[in-house]
Amino acid sequence: MLSHSSEPLLVLLLALLIVSLLAELSQFHTDLVSPAVSRRGARPLRPRPPDDGAQCRAAAAAPPPASPTRVIPYGQLKSPRGRKKTIDTRGYACPYSDCRYLNITDPAVHALVGYGHHGHPDPIQDFYCQAGRRKFSARRHTSLYGLKIPRARVAQVLHAVAEGLSPHAAARVFDLSETTVRSWITRAGQHSRSLHDPPKAPACPASGACATRRTAFEGSRRDRSRLALGRL
């Protein structure tokens, strides 16, 4: 029989034995679940090679972007002889797509010269592209192109419509057909849209002279009708 003085010692020894058994079991469980992590640590992350993804392969196979071709000013290509330009061609550009000076409005770069007039009694300026060897009207790609009525008459009608006059009333006031008035309004709207969203220009020279005919399109309806008429 054990004495009463040895019972607390036995309880203490049993408690220590149980604690040591629990510690051994927990260590065994850790080694069983993740032996590699416990022995060698976390696996380092490695970046994937460029050929691993479809987008990376497509980007690597794409050709490099072509460098913009510099447009040589026409004054450096032609002979210095001949008559000097007397008509300002600033703001106008060759409209033909096969011309190297397409949409270039800088007079120091493009090859435009004045080429007389046509129309009566309201003369319309003509231009000649020396590079493309073709002429065109200054009203080309504007709301007045192909109209035989003086531009002042068209401007009066559009200004009246911009002030709030209906097409039917404008036709009655100016003694015109309502169909004619509506066609002028449609022309002015299409021209205004082309000025607001101009097409992209070709490759520009280093001097930045390849500016398209971009015009600010902001303001009241009266300003928009004036803008649609241009400066012709």
What's the pLDDT tens digit per position in 186-197? 998 888 887 777
- The token pair that represents 127 in the structure block: 């231009």
Q: pTM score > 0.85 for this model?
A: no
pLDDT in tens, 11-30: 777 778 787 777 777 766 55
End-to-end CA, the chain: 128
Residue 166 belongs to a domain: yes
Residue 179 belongs to a domain: yes
35 pLDDT more than 60: no
Q: Using CA atoms in the order 77, 81, 86, 90, what is the torsion angle rounded to 10 degrees?
A: 10
Per-residue model confidence (pLDDT) at position 41: 60
Residue 140 belongs to a domain: yes
Amino acid at 194: S
Q: Tell me the C-alpha distance between 61 and 213, whole Å.
A: 37
Q: Tell me the C-alpha distance between 107 and 211, whole Å.
A: 11
As for how many domains the chain has, the answer is 1
220 pLDDT more than 60: no
- The token pair that represents 232 in the structure block: 């012709």
Q: Tell me the C-alpha distance between 214 and 145, whole Å.
A: 19
Residue 176 belongs to a domain: yes
Contact status, residue 143 vs residue 184, Cβ threshold 8 Å:
yes
Per-residue model confidence (pLDDT) at position 6: 67
Q: What is the residue range of 130's domain? A: 76-229
Residue 198 belongs to a domain: yes
Q: Tell me the C-alpha distance between 182 and 26, whole Å.
A: 91
Which burial class, exposed, middle or buried, applies to 8 when counting CB atoms under 10 A from its CB (0-12, 13-18, 19+)? Answer: exposed
Smallest Cα–Cα separation from 187: which of 212, 154, 165, 217? 154
What integer best gives the mean pLDDT of the chain? 75
Residue 53 belongs to a domain: no
pLDDT in tens, 129-166: 999 899 999 988 888 888 888 889 999 999 999 999 99
Residue 2 belongs to a domain: no
Across the range 173-200, mean pLDDT stands at: 85
Contact status, residue 211 vs residue 201, Cβ threshold 8 Å:
yes
Residue 18 belongs to a domain: no
Q: CA-CA distances (angstroms) from residue 50 to 43, 59, 63, 64, 224?
A: 21, 10, 16, 17, 53
pLDDT in tens, 67-112: 556 788 998 888 888 888 889 999 899 999 899 999 899 999 999 9
